[in-house]
Structure 1
Amino acid sequence: MSILQTRVWWVLRIGAAACFIGHGAFGIITKEGWLPFFALVGIGPDLAYKMMPLVGIADICAGLSVLVRPTPAVILYMAVWGLWTAMLRPLTGQPVAEMIERAGNYGVPFVMLLMIEWPRTVRQWCAPARRRLDDSFDTRRIALALMLVTATLVSGHALLALSG
């Protein structure tokens, strides 16, 4: 592995961990702004407030896991969960820009998935993620994916600012 590959991998791990640990803290403190997201799937406020700390703990565990011992299963969970929670914004009546602006939440784990060998067995999904070898690691592809994530996130910020 090159030094660049190792640095990119660690920056993504730290970024994904910080995102999920931070959002997990919101779950633990039961953020009122999350109630519409639970309501969308038929969960009322009383149960939602009881579930929020559990969701928060799951996010914190995912964040710590990707930092300490990333597995393909956890990385995939982070990508899918991050995309779902971003999609909840427009599904509950918020501007689409709210989803776009959260590209870093799901984009970083998706890029991490590009950097690992795709698991073929259940055991491999739960084993430590194996980064692709030098000859199959395409630096340009990863750089393009990261630029796309960044451009999407910044576009979301701009759309929110323009919409007032």
Structure 2
Amino acid sequence: MKTLANTQKIHYSLRIAAAMCFIGHGSFGVLTKPIWCNYFALFGIDTVSSYRLMPYLGSIDILMGIILLFKPFRAIAAWLVVWGIITALCRPLSGEPFGEFIERAGNFGAPLCMLLLAGGIQFNTRWLFSTIDSGAPVDERSLTRVKTTLQVIVFLLLAGHGWLNLLGKPALL
């Protein structure tokens, strides 16, 4: 049996975490969560249209998560970072506490760390459409960036969770 290197274990942990996050949230879209209508309203989309769009957007999230599991294109991971930030920001922009945003740092944190582990982010077509190689060597600088980013992400998750708990969010009690 082949043993994975530590960096490969980190890669697969981040890859699975990012994929499951978007598959899970995509499932909520397919199931049409009523509170999401508030987020669509930020873009001028009415309730009826929101309910029609949710399954499509949810399906895209699920598809992106599945693709990431089987073929980790950098473009998919980059999209998940951007989409994760946008959707997390919709919460405070729609009137929910800012803690709702920071609690969701993991939604964009896992794919961000995946990209950092793979050498960072570049903005060119060749980079975007290449896949992340789980077996590629990882330099010390990239590992340090991932470690620091993960520490910040975990801090934000815990701070956001604590903040919402202090506010008495029913789902957390």
TM-score between the two structures when normalised by the length of structure 2: 0.87
Q: How much is the aligned-residue C-alpha RMSD, in angstroms?
A: 1.7
Q: Which runs of 5+ in 1 are unaligned?
A: none
Q: Give 1:59's aligned residue.
A: 61
Report SS of the residue matched to 1:95. Answer: coil
Q: Provide the rounded CA distance (Å) in 2 between the counterparts of 1:67 and 1:11.
A: 11
Gaps of 5+ in 2: 169-173
Q: Does residue 1:73 correspond to 2:75, yes or no?
A: yes
Instruction: Spell out the pairing of 1:1-164 with structure 2 (5 A cutoff).
Output: 3-117=5-119, 118-119=121-122, 121-130=124-133, 133-135=137-139, 138-164=142-168
The code of the aligned residue for 1:77 comes to W
- In 1, the alpha carbon distance for the partners of 2:92 and 2:155 equals 20
Q: Which amino acid aligns with 2:131?
A: P
- Output the amino acid matched with 1:124: W
Does the 8 Å contact 2:118/2:138 carry over to 1? no
Q: Is the 8 A contact 1:24 1:56 kept in 2?
A: yes
More deviation in 143-152 or 9-18? 143-152
In the alignment, the residues of structure 2 paired with residue 20 and residue 94 of structure 1 have an alpha-carbon distance, to the nearest angstrom, of 21
Deviation at 1:124? 3.4
Please give the alpha-carbon distance, in whole angstroms, between the structure 1 residues aligned to 2:132 and 2:165.
38
Instruction: Compute the displacement of 1:123 (Å).
Output: 3.7
Aligned to 2:171: none
Q: Distance in 1 between matches of 2:132 and 2:13?
A: 15
Deviates more, 1:153-162 or 1:106-115: 106-115
What is the alpha-carbon distance in structure 2 between the residues aligned to residue 72 and residue 49 of structure 1? Answer: 30
Conserved? CA contact 1:28–1:52, under 8 Å: yes
The answer as to whether partners of 2:117 and 2:143 remain within 8 angstroms in 1 is no
Aligned partner of residue 157 in structure 2, secondary structure: helix
Q: Alignment length, in residue pairs?
A: 163
Amino acid at match of 1:37: Y
Identity over the aligned pairs, expressed in percent? 39
Higher helix share: 1
Q: TM-score, normalised by structure 1?
A: 0.92
